[in-house]
Amino acid sequence: DWTPNAFVGETVEALKNKIGNDKVVLGLSGGVDSSVAAMLLHKAIGENLYCIFVNNGLLRKNEFTDVLEQYKGMGLNVKGVDASARFLDALAGKSDPEEKRKAIGRVFIEVFDDEAHEIENVTYLAQGTIYPDVIESVSATGGPSATIKSHHNVGGLPDFMKLKIVEPLKLLFKDEVRRVGASMGMDKQLLGRHPFPGPGLAIRILGDITPEKVRILQEVDAVFINGLKDAGLYDKVWQAGAILLPVNSVGVMGDERTYEKCVALRAVESTDGMTADWVNLPYEFLQKTSNDIINKVKGVNRVVYDISSKPPATIEWE
Ligand code: XMP
């Protein structure tokens, strides 16, 4: 029978044997999979695991600093790289979703490659790939790895992609990854985090991206997500987030008419993201959240709730 404890024991042993005294580089995303992969490798090879956590400027509010601190607290050898400006520059003026994804994928590879070159004599690239990712890349649905591949078929692989690959979670499903993390004593909040797309808020800001739009969406998202946590609803939802619409709608303030931004809130139930149902959040919660957003976030005067299921509506709006 499969147990998380036995998996940890066997995997750590196997990683030690395979890697020996070599160095490994791993990109942390703040998500469950890369974090659990990092902890397994850390147990096996300690300081020879070099983790890189890139801020693409499209993370949730305070996420970069909070998660970086958390990783350091876990004893990981992690370097935080704030490349926000490079990402936002590359995105300026782009509104096509696939172009935005490609730009983000390209800059990520450049930044990661630069950082990987800073580590002398690195042999392995570790990834938090899990079993459903393996299947999905075969069916080529265009996830993040597909973006990386499509870009790099053009000019040859960057050096870090020529490294030998280690994927300790390759045969696990998400719930098993969470159980493995829990058995290593990892923080429950980290293990229970909602999935978050690699391109981050870029695909939740419909149309082109500006620092001001990122700021607005980070604020809105924080009100929504913290509200879900405060109301005890966060763990009942598979994924939630806010979307900044490319629409200004009319409002009144005093005796003036305003034209300000409209945001959509989305919360879904799902097991694997392939199908999803919108969540029937309590009216009182929606009412309070809407008021909080409109009162606290300057530039937003309207909040709507997305009641579409997948299929045909996807979870993300882009
Ligand atoms: P959709 O919108 O296709 O999303 O219903 C299904 C799941 O995939 C995530 N998603 C992405 N993740 N890069 C990622 O790493 C992407 O480009 C991307 N697009 C969607 C989405 O957040 C949901 O969990």
**164, 191, 218 — which closes off a domain?**
191
Domain extent at residue 89: 4-191
What are the structure tokens assigned to 168, written together?
């300790």
Please give the C-alpha separations between residue 48 and each of 25, 32, 40, 162, in angstroms, as whole numbers: 8, 21, 12, 19
Q: Say whether both 126 and 183 belong to one domain.
A: yes
Q: Are 264 and 304 in contact (CB under 8 A)?
A: yes
Domain end marker among 191, 213, 228: 191
Q: What does pLDDT average to over the chain?
A: 93
| Residue 184 placed within a domain | yes
CA of 310, closest atom in ligand 1: 5
- pLDDT for the residue 138: 59
Residue ranges lining ligand 1, Cβ < 6 Å: 101, 143-144, 195, 197-199, 239, 273, 310, 314-316
- CA atoms of 151 and 109, how far apart (whole Å): 10
pLDDT of residue 110: 96
Bin 259: left if φ > 0, else alpha if -120 < ψ < 50, else beta: beta
* Same domain for 112 and 36: yes
| DSSP H or E stretch at residue 82 | strand 78-82
Average pLDDT over residues 96-123: 97
Domain boundary among 163, 191, 219: 191
The CATH number given to whatever domain includes residue 120 is: 3.40.50.620
Tokens of 108: 């990520």
Tell me: the pLDDT tens digits for 197-238? 999 999 999 999 999 999 999 999 999 999 999 999 999 999
* pLDDT attached to residue 63: 97
Q: In the structure, what pLDDT confidence band is assigned to residue 170 with cuts at 50, 70 and 90?
A: very high
**How far is the centre of ligand 1, averaged over its atoms, from the C-alpha of 272 (Å)?**
11
**pLDDT value, residue 148:** 46
Are 250 and 149 found together in one domain? no
Q: Is residue 154 part of a domain?
A: yes
Q: Convert the pLDDT of each residue in 266-310 to its tens digit.
A: 999 999 899 999 999 999 999 999 999 999 999 999 999 999 999
Show Cβ contacts of residue 243 under 8 Å, excluding neighbours closer than 6 positions.
204, 205, 206, 217, 263, 264, 265, 266, 306, 317
Neighbours of 97 (CB within 10 A): 16
Measured CA angle at 198 (ends 86, 183), to 5 deg: 125
Name the residue among 41, 65, 39 with its Cα closest to residue 53.
65
Residues 213 and 134 in one domain: no
Same domain, yes or no: 174 and 234: no
Quick one: pLDDT at residue 151? 45
The answer on 215 and 185 residing in a single domain is no
- Atom nearest to 317 CA in ligand 1: 2
* Cα→Cα distances 154→50, 90, 111, 149, 157, Å: 28, 18, 18, 9, 9
In a domain, 274, yes or no: yes
Residue 318 covered by a domain: no
Residues forming beta bridges with residue 277, ordered by sequence position:
269
pLDDT at 45: 98
Q: How far is the CA of 164 from the centre of ligand 1 (A)?
A: 27
Segment 177-207, tens digit of pLDDT: 999 999 999 999 999 999 999 999 999 999 9
* Distance from the alpha carbon of residue 240 to the mean position of ligand 1, in angstroms: 12
ipTM over 0.90: yes
Q: Is residue 51 part of a domain?
A: yes
What is the pLDDT, as a whole number, of residue 133?
Answer: 86
**Exposure of 179 by Cβ count < 10 A (0-12 exposed, 13-18 middle, 19+ buried)?**
buried
- Cα dist. 282→39, 122, 246 in Å? 37, 51, 27
**Same-domain check for residues 143 and 272:** no
Number of structural domains found in the chain: 2
Q: Nearest C-alpha to atom 20 of ligand 1 is from which residue?
A: 197
Among protein residues, the one with the nearest Cα to ligand 1's atom 22 is 197
CA angle 285, 291, 293 (to 5 degrees): 100
pLDDT tens per residue, range 48-77: 999 999 999 999 999 999 999 999 999 999
Supply the Cα-derived Rg of the chain in whole angstroms.
20
If asked whether residues 130 and 11 sit together in one domain, one would say yes
The rounded Å distance from CA 111 to ligand 1 centre is 22
Helix (H, G, I), strand (E, B) or coil at 166: strand
| 110-165 residue pLDDT tens | 999 999 999 999 999 999 999 988 887 654 444 444 444 444 444 578 898 899 99
Specify if 314 maps to a domain: no
pLDDT in tens, 17-49: 999 999 999 999 999 999 999 999 999 999 999
pTM > 0.80: yes or no: yes
Of all atoms in ligand 1, which is nearest to the CA of residue 318?
A: 2
| Domain harbouring 213, CATH code | 3.30.300.10
Angle of the 32-45 helix axis to the 4-19 helix axis, nearest 10: 60
| Average of per-residue pLDDT across 251-277 | 94
CA of 131 to the centre of ligand 1 (A): 16
| 30, 67 Cβ separation under 8 angstroms | yes
